[in-house]
Amino acid sequence: MHLVELLAARSRPAAALLMTLTRRCPLSCAHCSTASTTDSEQLDAAPLTTFVATFTPEDRPDFLLLTGGEPLLRPRLVEDLAHRARAAGTRTQLLTGMFFARATRTPAPVAAALAAVDHVAASLDAFHEAEVPRARVFGVLRGLLDAGKDVSVQVTGLGPDDPYLADVTDDIRRTFGDRVPVLAAEVRAAGRAAQWLSAAPSAPAPAVPAADVPQGAAPCAMAAWPVVAFDGTVVACCNQNVVDGRGGRLAGPAGEFPGHLRLGHVADDGWPAVRRALVERPLLRGIRAFGPQYLARALAPDADSGRECAGYCGTCVSVLAAPGAAAAADAFMARAGTRVLEREINRLVEERGADGFLARHTVAAYRDLAALGAPAGPA
Ligand code: SF4
């Protein structure tokens, strides 16, 4: 399972499920987007496995993305989830900081978990390297490659000109002979990084530049894949400041997840119900196609809501969470003209495929590295 397969599906609603297995992590990187510590919270395994058991060959995400915190602190859970997902036809990617590479031998449960998933993505940046030597991470990747496993590396720099990015990407290309794809991104103001990087919560760039879509809409592809948050709530947004809603700076009223972005809970709902809510809820369809600010204007053109000051995600979690917004979206999204526009915008977003994601979320100079090692032919 090559990285570009995942990226090509990034804007397709419910193509994947992101599942956070724990907020715990033995590393203490200064830029950690989840502000993880060794004793952070984690949900019991049972509701997570029960939820994945609701995948069926007829109704399942194509991809299950396991993350944390450090998901390999729960290696048996990783193995169990990957096997359950595969039984339904879902492939699994695991994102790890590779804490275990500090030791000379990979613990057996961790090795079994790595063997169970379809793709292993390793995080690498100056902060990780202060705790886990690069050579050790490369050693684990080499072993996985030799065993036939698909791998990738997610590198993070302080900005597009950070010399670390040039150094580490050169090293990866040289060491693995251009067989390992690389995603190069900048540190975002979320989690611990929010304390020192910027006062403003990070917001995603629209899925397609506003100038390219009808009437200046700004589609949000971050509302395409459900995310299981640390407490088991399933939300329709991959913005870490929203996933981390209880206490995050984009929390809804009283620190709750904004209601329109809440799809359910792994203890109470199965995949089919979560998928239906994500794909069919008119307010979410509107956010995906038009973006929150365009949608807020369309739903209440005369309202003085302060939305121009709230920003992109700020409008989503305030104006669109307000009473009456869902009913207004039901009516707006049912109009024939809206449906035509929605279809056209979704077509444009889908056409951009992996390029759309890479243009929004990665550093331009390193964008082509995501395709390293990809099989020939279309993604
Ligand atoms: S616009 Fe809404 S759904 Fe999209 S990233 Fe922002 S908060 Fe999430």
Q: CA 215, 358, 232: angle at the middle one, nearest 5?
A: 90
Query: How does pLDDT run across 269-312, given as a tens digit for each residue?
Result: 999 999 999 999 999 999 999 999 999 999 986 665 555 667 88
Q: H or E segment at 65?
A: strand 63-67
Give yes or no for residue 199 having a pLDDT over 80.
no
Does 362 sit in the ligand 1 pocket, CB within 6 Å? no
Query: How does pLDDT run across 87-111, given as a tens digit for each residue?
Result: 999 999 999 999 999 988 999 999 9
- From the CA of 296, how far away is ligand 1's center (Å)? 13
Over pLDDT 70: what percentage of the chain? 89
Cα separation, 360 vs 358, whole angstroms: 5
In the chain the domains, ranked by start, together with CATH numbers, are 3-231+353-371 (3.20.20)
pLDDT of residue 257: 79
pLDDT of residue 281: 97
Query: How does pLDDT run across 174-195, given as a tens digit for each residue?
Result: 999 999 999 998 887 777 777 7
**Atom 6, ligand 1: residue with shortest CA distance:** 313
Residue 109 tokens, joined: 């449960």
User: For residue 54, what pLDDT band results from cuts at 50, 70 and 90?
Assistant: very high
Give yes or no for residue 131 having a pLDDT over 70.
yes
Among 280, 278, 288, 289, which residue's Cα sits nearest to residue 345? 289
Residue that has been written with the tokens 């390999």 in this structure: 72
Burial class (CB in 10 A: 0-12, 13-18, 19+), 356: buried
Does 237 sit in the ligand 1 pocket, CB within 6 Å? yes
Does 292 sit in the ligand 1 pocket, CB within 6 Å? yes
Q: What are phi and psi of 234, to 5 degrees?
A: -100, 125
Cα separation, 116 vs 199, whole angstroms: 40
Q: Could you count the other beta carbons within 10 Å of the beta carbon of residue 57?
A: 9
pLDDT of residue 192: 76
pLDDT of residue 213: 62
Give yes or no for residue 209 having a pLDDT over 80.
no
- From the CA of 226, how far away is ligand 1's center (Å)? 12
**Atom 1, ligand 1: residue with shortest CA distance:** 313
- From the CA of 5, how far away is ligand 1's center (Å)? 23
Query: How does pLDDT run across 214-224, given as a tens digit for each residue?
Result: 567 889 989 99
Least confident of 83-97, 239-253, 307-321, 328-342: 239-253
pLDDT of residue 254: 52
Give yes or no for residue 198 having a pLDDT over 80.
no
Residue that has been written with the tokens 């039984």 in this structure: 87
Query: How does pLDDT run across 158-172, given as a tens digit for each residue?
Result: 888 999 999 999 999
Over pLDDT 90: what percentage of the chain? 62
Query: How does pLDDT run across 60-81, given as a tens digit for each residue?
Result: 999 999 998 999 999 999 999 9
Give yes or no for residue 203 having a pLDDT over 70.
no
pLDDT of residue 149: 97
Give yes or no for residue 378 having a pLDDT over 80.
no
- From the CA of 316, how far away is ligand 1's center (Å)? 6
pLDDT of residue 239: 84
**Atom 8, ligand 1: residue with shortest CA distance:** 237
> Between the CA atoms of 106, 43, 225 and 154, what dihedral angle is there, to the nearest 10 degrees?
-30
